[in-house]
A = this chain, B = another copy of it.
Amino acid sequence: MQELRVGRIFSCATNAQQCIDVVSRNEMYFAVLPLVHPRARREFSGRTERSEPFTRSDLTLPSNIWSSNVIGSLSPWLNFDSPCHKVRMDSEQALKQEMAWAHHISCPAVIAPPPGRSCNNYARCLYSQIAASGGTSIYVHMPLTWKDDPDSDKDPWETWNSVRMLCEHHFCLFVALEVTSDLPTDETLTQWLCEPVKLLILPTSIFLTNTSGFPVLSKRHQNFLRSFFWYNVEVAVSGRPRHEGGLLVYSQYLQHLFSSRTPLSDSERFEQPYWDFLQIPLQPLADNLESQTYEVFEKDPVKYVNYEQAVYLALIDLQANFGFRQDPFIVMVVGAGRGPLVRASLRASERANIAIFVYALDKNPNAVVTLRNMRVTENWADRVEVVQSDMRDFSPPVKADILVSELLGSFGDNELSPECLDGAQRFLRPDTGISIPVSYTSWIAPISSSKLHQEVKAYNDVKHFETTYVVKMHTHKVLSDAQECWTFSHPNREVPIDNSRQSRHRFQVKRSSCLHGFAGYFDALLYADVHISIYPETFSTGMFSWFPLFFPIRTPMFVGKGEEIELQLSRCVGDKKVWYEWAVVAPSVGPVNNVNGRSFSIGL
């Protein structure tokens, strides 16, 4: 999105074409128009049939304008939670009539008036419409703070949360967030970033005036808007213009603000197409990667630099231990792919001025073609031996001094690095052999993301809720700092080796939230002090090879302020597969997910 879509909210629109003219004259993109005149309060329980139309004709605008440049607004008098049965019933009938009309004129979305503190029937009526309708979205108008009672204990987010829980996180339900002049705490503001906010409503009354007389927003308001600009949001101005230049100066200011949003870094630009896109983790033992996949990951600007540094430090230490040695040090790269770790090792050797001989091992016959070609083109013949073999079957002619691998998944061990390296460590010199990585630790944090929940729910089965996904989480919020799960170290001299793990976590949550699952990360120690990490606290800036792992839960769980989320996590190892089981046990007890790896596992 190169331009912000700015719109104008009309509280009354007797002449729709005039409104559209106003919009385009002020460099705006869309108009929010009442579907029915706001004072046209209809009664449905009477038997009298009125002959006059309940609203203006659809012919007042061409179809393509209705469908592209108009958002409808529902009547402001609708009151679904009135104590009076008749008011509730008339509201429900009017809603039905207006939604049917919106559908008829191909209006893609409507804005519903703000729910009251009591919102149960409001939610029911909305759900009834989106469940039945032909895909017309409903934006729930939510203010950032309650106007009548800004210090209310239950903040607007909680009301919104009740509405969407009653509507089962329906994918046609969104928020039109009204930015108020009083802003709540930053904590509250960021909470809205993980919600499906489609529209920001900006009343003209929240704008200040700069020295030149133009409308500007306060710094906090600016920052809040800027943070939203990467979330595909539109903006609409409400209220009468209060600055010279009319509406135009508002839309120009907002475009200016949009163009000054923080640009994406290189790695963010790389990641952007993957935002909130669920990927099933690789099954590296079962599948062969494609060349394109290798190519993407080889471009990581951090990973192989760090690997090179790790090999470099390991070689220095080895030489310090051994003193002078006639033979070169043996480096075995297991899972060499198209050679990036071979290259990194050779660079380290040159930099340290310590000779090495590399065995480059891969089970993928296609990758081996590349490696064997490189051996020729890059003059590796005397320094590199290419072997096509599964590392579980290979019998090397010599023992290795360094075993280099990159078998880590987003959660560290989730692509079976422990099992692979346990098998490969027999290549290593028993006393002095070094594994790079030396160890890796898994981390986990609770998150809120209705977006990811909806993505999983769309599959409409339990299986997909019991699967973990690699995903660049964008529309989400981490509810509490990540905690350490477990660590694997290599070589592993335990007898017998037990790679099953269990961890229990208690996360404090700062404010009322909706739990949708957990994000998994890893931090790997390559060697000495060289790490690669996607755990947020130690994140290797610029590295883009790994996105976090998402552990969903089936039923989103409300977590009250000050309550704890308690998680039990297990890495289970069977004869033929490895899998995770996870269960939330607080604030309420959920089911054990993926018991026996029934829905998702990684084959051994």
Q: Using CB atoms and an 8 Å cutoff, list the residues of chain A in contact with chain B.
A: 45-47, 85, 88-89, 120-121, 123-124, 127-128, 131-132, 161-162, 165-168, 495-496, 498, 500-502, 504, 555, 557-558, 568, 570, 581, 583, 585, 588-592, 595-596, 598
| Contact B568 A121, beta carbon cutoff 8 Å | yes
Other-chain contact of A124, B123, B131, B501, B595 (Cβ < 8 Å):
B595
Residues of B contacting A166 with CB < 8 Å?
A: 583, 585, 589-592
| Contact A592 B124, beta carbon cutoff 8 Å | yes
Q: List 14 A-B contacts (CB under 8 A).
A: A45-B496, A47-B495, A85-B498, A85-B501, A123-B583, A124-B568, A127-B592, A127-B595, A128-B595, A128-B596, A162-B585, A165-B589, A166-B585, A166-B589
| Contact B89 A500, beta carbon cutoff 8 Å | yes
Bound-complex Cα distance A161 to B595 (A): 18
Residues of B contacting A495 with CB < 8 Å?
A: 47
Further 8 A-B residue pairs, CB within 8 A, beyond A88-B502, A120-B568? A45-B496, A121-B502, A123-B592, A124-B595, A128-B581, A131-B595, A167-B591, A167-B592
Bound-complex Cα distance A167 to B168 (A): 23
| Contact A504 B47, beta carbon cutoff 8 Å | no
Most B CB contacts (10 A, CB to CB) among A85, A88, A495, A591 go to A591
Bound-complex Cα distance A37 to B558 (A): 46
Distance between A51 CB and nearest chain B CB, rounded to angstroms: 19
Residues of B contacting A568 with CB < 8 Å?
A: 120-121, 124
Other-chain contact of A161, B127, B504, B589 (Cβ < 8 Å):
B589
Most B CB contacts (10 A, CB to CB) among A162, A502, A596 go to A502
Distance between A508 CB and nearest chain B CB, rounded to angstroms: 19
Distance between A470 CB and nearest chain B CB, rounded to angstroms: 25
Bound-complex Cα distance A385 to B498 (A): 85
Residues of B contacting A128 with CB < 8 Å?
A: 581, 592, 595-596
Residues of B contacting A88 with CB < 8 Å?
A: 502
Distance between A47 CB and nearest chain B CB, rounded to angstroms: 5
Residues of B contacting A595 with CB < 8 Å?
A: 124, 127-128, 131
Bound-complex Cα distance A45 to B555 (A): 37
Distance between A194 CB and nearest chain B CB, rounded to angstroms: 18
| Contact B498 A598, beta carbon cutoff 8 Å | no
- Given A495-B47, A496-B47, A504-B120, do A590 and B165 touch, yes or no (CB 8 Å)? yes
